[in-house]
Chains A and B, each alone.
Chain A
Amino acid sequence: MTLDGKVPSGPIETRWARHRDHLRLISPANKRRYTVIVVGTGLGGGSASATLAQLGYNVLAFCYQDSARRAHSIAAQGGINAAKNYVGDGDSVYRLFYETVKGGDFRSRESNVYRLAELSGNIIDQCVAQGVPFQREYSGELSTRSFGGALVSRTLFCRGQTGQQLLLGCYQAMMRQASEGRLKVFPKKEMLDLVLVDGEAKGILVRDLTTGEYEAYAADAVVIATGGYASVFNLSTNAVGSNVGAIMRCYKKGALMANPCYTQIHPTCIPFAGWFQSKLILMSESLRNDGRVWVPKKKGDKRPPNEIPESDRDYYLERKYPSYGNLAPRDISSRAAKEACDDGRGVGPSGYAVYLDFRDAIQRHGRKVIEERYGNLFELYDHISGEDPYAQPMKIYPASHYAMGGLWVDYNLMSNIPGLFVIGEANFSDHGANRLGASALMQGLADGYFVLPYTIGDYLATTQPGKVKPDNLEFQKVKEEDEARINRLISIKGSRTVLDFRIELGRLLWENVGMARSEESLTKALEEIPRIREAFWSDLKLTGSEKDLNQQLERAWRLSEALDFAEVLTLDARERRESCGAHFRVEHQTPDGEALRNDAEYTYVAAWEYKGEGEKPEMHKEPLTFEVVQPTVRSYK
């Protein structure tokens, strides 16, 4: 299989415009004859369904929550990037593009990233028109702040609730289309499978989470926007329901899984406290604008933080990366925290935490300003930890957060299966081996508002609308398969709970496929995963029936897919024998512990093809070419 990314050529500044101008269009009168399924109602799926419906398509939107507004995009705190150069600090589309390519450690497609940077400004205009209350200055103009990996201030935000406000913008646009009848939202319906007819994506099978019934939905194209897979680590900043199920089912139907080993560990989360925890809570990266990260200089220094004098503190990010300091990118900050803790200088009961200190910022700006900037984050921290961050530093530690990898898509955001589009965090497209802060929101909205609505028309124009109906035999076949799989889960009647297995898998991955990976640890994980999977399929205990509201069953189904996914992830991590971005192979590091890339051999996208249960998937390579930015050693010193 050769992978054609359909990347346009020519000057990068005009690639998207030229490409867009040559896409096929469907006449307004014909659009209503087409139906598009959108799975997921986060920033990706929400913006896409609202826009497609507005254009005149019939849209069916699905999510597993009880309302479209609850997709996990809602939890994004810090902000969204836009190359607006509002504060005149030298920002430009080019600079955003450059920083994103560099931040991704030269493992992303230049054309995609350029398009993203180009669209970033429109997104903000769009959101403001929808009534998103971005933070403003006394002049009435928009405020900005800085995020990790950037030397300019280009991040727009709504206090610490940016994702919420952007998602409400999408959700409200969806509700408007729903009231006009072109969009139908199906909450509490979980996509169990993709249905292919003659090799093209023509529908999905869902399970109604309230009744347990299977339902078939047919369409002319299917858009997957089901978010990331950071939850395979069990403890992550994702929602407890976030899962890899939908994209795994597409993978098993032939869609390629690209770069699954690129998983981001976020440096600033409330530290791990025990296996009873159901998730780890993020403290927005924006806090690093004003907070200073440090650990005691001496090992095992148990003094309360406020009693440790300046001379005994190691502001290690400022020391190691003087030009970016506390705003070093995530992968780098996370590793530095791990290093300090592994060195015995971590704080908190477990010794796996570092301080994020606002003392100096409060002294400089006053409590009121800090409250205005981060009030709700401080409140959240106080709620969870019972400590007042105004009075003593926060304790933070890295946690699994984001998936750069995902289903492979071309420049049109279509996977290798015709008619199957993938947007938002679910695809692999724009962030390379590491995502910079505040650019996932940008990507989700760019995909859904401004890219997919054009590119999907190009595919639809080649198809005859309404060709496939839900009574097509393929739906029946898929339903039988999935029903059998679910019944199998129910009928195991073993002794261990879903959560038990979820923790076992998550722990294995965190310890062996987490922030530091080695040939040895990855090989170990590859041996262990099948063992856990086997135990899962022979010793799982569920209660209740499948034809009912059964939350344990939902979780079991999701975990069954995560178990299969974990293997691809680990395999990809083992085969990539270099360090790049968030993928850190201990064998490949510079003398001072930085990631050591191997451009000669690994400048490619690894896209994995499913070969059947128990078979080793096959890797296809999409070579990456850099015409505009020359890959260099990524330095933040």
Chain B
Amino acid sequence: MRFHLKVWRQEGPEAPGRFFDYDVDDVIPEMSLLEMLDKLNEELIKKGTPPIVFESDCREGICGTCGMVVNGSAHGPQPKTTTCEIRMRHFQDGETITIEPFRAAAFPVQKDLLVERAGLDKVIQAGGYTSAYTGTHADANAILVPKDDQEYAMDAAACIGCGACVAACPNSSAMLFVAAKIAHLGTLPQGMPEEPKRALSMTEVMQEEGFGACSNHFECQAVCPKGIQVETIARLNRAFLKASLKRRA
């Protein structure tokens, strides 16, 4: 297979960026998109051109490191996949593929396709945990957890923190990311006690870190590689309301 690529390249955070055109030949259908970029990079290095900078680590859809906008969609057009999971057999031979970085004010571009996502860590620092000490705890079976609750918590806990939801959101809101964490912890008995604090402070810090508010566009859900549902956002809104009323009282 052969492809024509339009790749966003940018020297640094302040530098202006633009699209560069590349042709890649001899692409094997089993290749992943990133492996195709690896191949292109090899060719670029041999020519003495700096290779395209992009991040990845696990390359199996779980670490959340990779992330680009491929043909206008965060993590590419296929639903429920990360960028590193995209295989070239899903594209038409000869197709033009555009590749851009995740874009949001909270995710400044460092170089080419690599963005800085430290804001997401800050949001978790604002309460995305249970305050359990390392030490001795009750036996893991001492508190029963209904299976449905555990499954629901697990669905939400599957978030890989990739930030695709932010990239896809017209407001660059991180609501789905926050809602997923709050749904995960708040559904389990161990996480419930701190839910009010979590709902108030994580959303506040989300705003401080430069993420927008939620306008319920639901673009996040469409691109989320882990299928996190916007219903968790409704749940977060309820939790926030309850917490605010409690704070009043």
Nearest B residue (CB) for A127: B140
Query: Quick check: is B31 within 8 A (CB to CB) of the other chain?
Result: yes
Contact A122 B136 (CB under 8 A): yes
Stretch of A69-77, A573-581, A586-594 that contacts chain B: A69-77
CB contact under 8 A between A74 and B58, given known A67-B117, A67-B121: yes
Nearest chain A CB to B67's CB is how many angstroms away? 10
* In the complex, chain A residues whose CB is within 8 Å of the CB of B65: 65-66, 70
Contact of B61 among A66, A383, A542 (CB under 8 A): A383
CB contact under 8 A between A383 and B87, given known A70-B64, A541-B46: yes
How many B residues touch A, CB cutoff 8 Å?
75
Nearest B residue (CB) for A239: B57
Query: Quick check: is A449 within 8 A (CB to CB) of the other chain?
Result: yes
Contact with A along B181-202 (1 / 0, CB 8 A): 0001100101100000000000
* In the complex, chain A residues whose CB is within 8 Å of the CB of B111: 549
CB contact under 8 A between A128 and B87, given known A75-B60, A142-B141: no
CB contact under 8 A between A278 and B35, given known A47-B134, A125-B139, A240-B57: yes
Q: Please report which residues of chain A, range 447-463, place their CB below 8 angstroms from some CB of chain B when the two chains form the complex.
A: 449-450, 453
Contact of B134 among A54, A69, A121, A552 (CB under 8 A): A54
Nearest chain A CB to B173's CB is how many angstroms away? 19
Q: For the complex, what is the distance from the CA of A278 to the CA of B150, rounded to whole Å? A: 35
Query: Quick check: is B8 within 8 A (CB to CB) of the other chain?
Result: no
* In the complex, chain A residues whose CB is within 8 Å of the CB of B143: 128
Query: Quick check: is B154 within 8 A (CB to CB) of the other chain?
Result: yes
Contact of B30 among A74, A168, A273, A495 (CB under 8 A): A273
Contact of B48 among A65, A139, A159, A543 (CB under 8 A): A543
Q: For the complex, what is the distance from the CA of A461 to the CA of B173, rounded to whole Å? A: 48
* In the complex, chain B residues whose CB is within 8 Å of the CB of A141: 141, 144
Q: Please report which residues of chain B, range 107-165, place their CB below 8 angstroms from some CB of chain A when the two chains form the complex.
A: 110-111, 114, 116-118, 120-121, 124-126, 128-141, 143-147, 150, 153-154, 157-158, 160-161
Q: For the complex, what is the distance from the CA of A543 to the CA of B44, rounded to whole Å? A: 10
* In the complex, chain B residues whose CB is within 8 Å of the CB of A542: 45
Most B Cβ at <10 Å: residue of A47, A70, A281, A379 = A70
Q: For the complex, what is the distance from the CA of A380 to the CA of B225, rounded to whole Å? A: 12
Q: Please report which residues of chain B, range 11-65, place their CB below 8 angstroms from some CB of chain A when the two chains form the complex.
A: 28, 30-32, 34-35, 38-39, 42, 44-46, 48-51, 53, 55-65
Q: For the complex, what is the distance from the CA of A94 to the CA of B65, rounded to whole Å? A: 40
* In the complex, chain B residues whose CB is within 8 Å of the CB of A172: 124, 128-130
CB contact under 8 A between A549 and B134, given known A70-B65, A140-B144: no
Q: For the complex, what is the distance from the CA of A180 to the CA of B226, rounded to whole Å? A: 31
Query: Quick check: is A279 within 8 A (CB to CB) of the other chain?
Result: yes
Query: Quick check: is A611 within 8 A (CB to CB) of the other chain?
Result: no
Nearest B residue (CB) for A176: B129
Q: Beyond A175-B125, A278-B32: 18 further Cβ-contacts under 8 Å?
A: A67-B120, A84-B140, A124-B140, A125-B138, A127-B140, A129-B138, A131-B129, A135-B150, A161-B62, A175-B129, A176-B125, A176-B129, A239-B58, A240-B56, A279-B59, A279-B60, A379-B80, A499-B42
Give 10 nearest A-B pairs by CB, closest first: A140-B144, A172-B129, A129-B132, A51-B134, A179-B125, A128-B140, A125-B137, A133-B153, A239-B57, A129-B137
What are 17 residue pairs bridging A and B, where the CB atoms are less than 8 Å apart in the complex? A54-B134, A65-B63, A67-B161, A72-B63, A126-B134, A129-B138, A159-B154, A161-B62, A164-B62, A175-B125, A176-B125, A176-B131, A178-B125, A239-B63, A240-B56, A380-B61, A541-B45
State the A residues within 8 Å of B (CB). 47, 50-51, 54, 65-70, 72, 74-75, 84, 86, 121-122, 124-131, 133-142, 158-159, 161, 164-165, 168, 171-173, 175-176, 178-179, 185, 187, 210, 239-241, 273-274, 276-279, 281-282, 376, 379-380, 383-384, 386, 449-450, 453, 495, 497, 499-500, 541-544, 549, 551-552
